[in-house]
Chain A
Amino acid sequence: MNTPTIKSVSSGYRLKQSLDVIVPQLVLFLYMLIALFPIFMIIINSFKSRDAIFRAPFSIPNPETFSLIGYNTVFSRANFLTYFINSFTVTGLSLILALWLGSMAAYALSEYRFKGNALLGLYLSFGIMIPIRLGTVSILRIMVSLNLVNTLAGLILIYIAQALPMTIFILSQFMRQVPKELKDAARIDGANEYYIYWLVLPLVRPALGAIGIFTMIPIWNDLWFPLIVAPSTKTATITLGVQQFLGQYVSDWNAVLSSLTLAMVPILLVYIIFSRQMIGSITAGALK
């Protein structure tokens, strides 16, 4: 580079550099408004009187317009508590069982060389890309014959099956990286294979966490299987419950806005608490 012009180059460079920061910041900020605005509108209006919702939709609730009438309707008319408990039960149990069964299978596939290992891996990975929904006609028939229609157990079995292929695929990759020496040392000490599985499990904890979070969201948010396999009021999950409640109270704006806010809050809280681990786990390449 020639020395005399270095000053002008660097000032032009500085201008360009600050533009390189300002333009992205501006675009990101604008897109953030687009992403948050609809959610924000629902939440602020859920705390207003019906009149204020229509008269001044954009303003934040003040003492004059503040009202909890929507929440009163929701709590007195809908079984939100039941729906929440159902969703927690279904999501929690599906998650734990999918991780447990999946980690055992992943351990077997990654640890032992036996005839048909590769074929089994292929068989299990078939479900990664093919959506389980396409088997719904048959799933419903199975549920009817097993007496599992309108039970949470039926939903849980479906969600375990849905989560297993991805869980096994990712976990077996992680388990292959666990050093052989560790397992062999335990074997020399006389540990049996089940004990060694327990030994390996904590070593892949980050992967278990990441898979857990990414399995949880689609299960919690699913509408299809609750609608088809467990639509009764007793077994409705929060997603289905909200969908049905909104269908009935579509003209009661206060109730609609409040129930939407209530349905969003738990998942938003979980997301805010775990977002760093969640996004961190993808960006760290944990889910490649």
Chain B
Amino acid sequence: MDQKTKRKPFPAHIIVFLAPALLVYSVFMVFPLLDSLRLSLFSITDSGQENFVAFSNFTTLLTNPDYSIRFWGALRNNLVFFIINMLVQNPLGLLLASLLVTGGFGRKFYRTVLFLPTVLSVVIIGFIWNLILNPLWGVTSGMMKFVGLGAFFRPWLGLEGSALITVSLISVWQFIGIPMILFYTALIGISEELIEAARVDGANGWEIFWKIKFPLILPTVGVVSILTFVGNFNAFDLIYTMKGALAGPNFSTDVMGTLFFRTFFGQQLQLGNPSMGATVATMMFIIILTGVLIYTFLWQRRIQTYEM
């Protein structure tokens, strides 16, 4: 059977099966990605003419104060956004997952309910939290007063020093379901006998977790980290919904996604610029690709040798 198909020149049915998917994928995904990379090396005049400018768009983005202040700011904020997600969302997701595994009854109920915010749109989540944290409505301040912490309430979303952290924690609140479910899946895959054997040897829960379970779920730790990385450096919806395209106050919540949107479409003081937009997208591409390559070639390889 296989040998037969192999010897034929190129069977028509294989083309029929592959062509539609390849066409749509190539035209609407691969080509635009590559074309965006190409556009970052050009400048586009108002009449639509493209002139090759080599890397001068990148020089502008990284050194011309009109762009560079916002670029480095967005990069820094994006890094903070990612670090908060890595340090809060993923450990908390792991904690909830291991509690689900050991916690006895209600396991299915809890995992369904805790995953619920993840399926809602970021737009809805953003507005919900805008309302909940709004000092006008007073839900959060009311609750803090109730437990005697009323004096500590601040309009966190409106303050330059706390807006980014608040938005990051809202992102954590929404997407915690993903690491939780992935860790949960990995944890229930560990054989009971292995844990039982360790328990007989006198290991306590803490030791069992760190010495047996954690090393076994390291592949999942990698998957969760790279998903968080790609998702965070591609984030836009939450900040656009909560703080607008200008990512206020004073650009303190500006990330690469909002910078890309503003550069491409323009904002109050500045006209949209497709080639500078493509330049920002190319920087995002480089950042994300670097992360993916580190994951594929350093982390996955090490994990494989570790497992062997």
Contacts and interface: CB of A to CB of B under 8 A. Distances in A.
Contacts of B13: 192-194
Residue of A131, A192, A197 most packed against chain B (CB within 10 A)? A131
A69 interface: no
Nearest to A216: B119
A108 B13 CA distance: 9
Contact of B128 (A42, A114, A123, A217): A42
B123 A243 contact: yes
Nearest to A187: B1
A161 B25 contact: yes
Interface centre among A39, A101, A137, A239 (most CB of B within 10 A): A137
A130 B24 contact: no
B5 A57 contact: no
Interface string A166-188: 00100000000000100110010
Contacts of B114: 28, 31-32, 35
Given A108-B18, A217-B119, A134 B33 contact: yes
Interface residues of B, number: 89
Contact of A35 (B25, B99, B116, B132): B116
Contact of B29 (A53, A135, A141, A276): A135
B1 A184 contact: yes
A66 interface: no
Highest count of chain B CB atoms <10 Å: which of A32, A184, A253, A283:
A283
Interface residues of A, number: 90
A229 B78 CA distance: 25
Contacts of B24: 101, 157, 160-161, 164
Nearest to B115: A279
A183 B237 CA distance: 46
A256 interface: yes
Nearest to A114: B14
Interface string A27-59: 110011011101101100000000001100110
A137 B28 contact: no
A20 B35 CA distance: 56
A257 to B, nearest CB: 8
Interface string A198-231: 0000000000000000000100111110001000
Contacts of B260: 136
Contacts of B237: 222-224
B148 to A, nearest CB: 17
B137 A25 contact: no
Interface of A: 20-21, 24-25, 27-28, 31-32, 34-36, 38-39, 41-42, 53-54, 57-58, 101-102, 104-105, 107-109, 112-114, 120, 123-124, 126-127, 129-139, 141-142, 157-158, 160-162, 164-165, 168, 180, 183-184, 187, 192-194, 197, 217, 220-224, 228, 239, 242-243, 246, 253, 256-257, 260, 263-264, 267-268, 271, 275-276, 279, 282-283, 285, 288
26 contacts: A25-B105, A28-B110, A39-B117, A39-B128, A42-B128, A101-B24, A105-B22, A108-B18, A114-B5, A114-B6, A126-B30, A129-B288, A130-B285, A133-B234, A135-B31, A135-B32, A135-B281, A138-B39, A141-B274, A164-B25, A180-B1, A223-B240, A242-B121, A242-B124, A267-B121, A275-B115
